[in-house]
Amino acid sequence: MMKNKMIFLELLAFMLPCYIANAAPVLVGGGGRLDCGITLGDGMGLFGKTKTVQGFLGGIAAGVIASGLISLWWPGLLFGNREVLFLSGSMLAVGALVGDAGGSFIKRRMGVRPGMHSRVLDQMDFVMGALVFAYPFAKGIYTIPNIAFILIISYLLHVGTNLMANRAGLKKVPW
User: pTM of the full predicted structure?
Assistant: 0.88
Paired with 52 in beta bridges are 33
Paired with 39 in beta bridges are 45
3-state DSSP assignment of residue 45: strand
* Below-50 pLDDT ranges, the chain: 1
What pLDDT score was predicted for residue 4? 66
What number of other Cβ atoms are within 10 A of residue 85's Cβ?
A: 26
What number of other Cβ atoms are within 10 A of residue 72's Cβ?
A: 11
What pLDDT score was predicted for residue 3? 63
